[in-house]
Chain A
Amino acid sequence: MESFEVSKKEDGKVVILNIKGYLDAHTAPMLENELQQLVDAGKYNILVNFSELLYISSAGLGVFMGFIENIRNNEGDIKLSDMNSKIYRVFDLLGFPTLYDIVEEEQEALKKFNS
């Protein structure tokens, strides 16, 4: 069974979402719910750590598209970190690296949020 899980922790003003498993059209609504809850709570500095993500389709990428405008309008950002090359290639094929801040490691993204 290919599952998907999201876990959440806070580091100062940043909320870190660790996503794990398979993110497709079936599981994307789970991530959408998590992001919606953060936005509803006024938390606009969001870091998504991809280190345990094994698979992503465009439905997963679409989730970020649905929130980024609102979050940036509120002076926040969604930063993405720790992608393996397979996952990064999907982002790259769709031109996301020019639109989203994708960094190698979580610490780098945290520094950017706090600078």
Chain B
Amino acid sequence: MIKEKEKYKLKIPSKTDNLEIIRSFVSHVAELVGFDADETYKIELAVDEACANVIKHAYEKKDTNHQIDLVIEIDVQKLVIYITDQGKGFDVEKVLNKNVKEYLAEMRVGGLGIHLIKALMDEVEFISKAGEKTQVKMTKYLMKNGQLESIAKE
């Protein structure tokens, strides 16, 4: 069990081959904090979605020499993940204001990842400006109402 705040970092080339390494890194840290298998799976999937969005949308295709920065902060209560890229940014409001039904109706794939991230994590924040770095901050609480989430669910 973690007694005080700790930080884990991964800096990795922005390519789909590396999603496997990213998932493995995240799930190991989540298990270390004490999340059960079900919650760990949700965290792993949310991070996969955020990183896949970076790989697909953040950088111009011809430019392959880019990195994703992943920072995980953990303490006794929660796990906070920061995913940062230096890509072209996106219009956060535009993406977040669409609901999943609109994406499905348009048969578009792009917004599904963001919808999943919001459904899987407790708190999600996107910070992005066109042409500047983009950061996704996502939080998962280990304790709910003073209880371990795995116990609170029962």
Residues of chain A having any CB pair with chain B under 8 Å: 1-2, 22, 24-26, 57-59, 61-62, 65-66, 68-69, 86, 90, 93-96, 99
Contact = CB atoms under 8 A, between A and B. Distances in A.
A58 B48 CA distance: 9
B20 A2 contact: yes
Contact of B109 (A65, A86, A93, A99): A65
Main secondary structure of the interface of A (DSSP, over half): helix
Interface of B: 16-17, 19-20, 23, 41, 45, 48-49, 52, 55-56, 100-101, 104, 107-109, 112-113, 115-116, 119-120
Contacts of A57: 45, 48-49, 52, 113, 116
A22 B112 contact: no
Contacts of B109: 58-59, 61-62, 65-66
A95 to B, nearest CB: 6
For the complex of A and B, the 3 pairs showing the least CB-CB separation, nearest first, are A62-B109, A26-B16, A25-B52
A101 to B, nearest CB: 15
Nearest to A92: B119
Given A24-B16, A24-B19, A94-B112, A59 B100 contact: no
Contacts of A58: 49, 52, 109, 112-113, 116
B107 A25 contact: no
Contacts of A25: 16, 19, 48, 52, 55-56
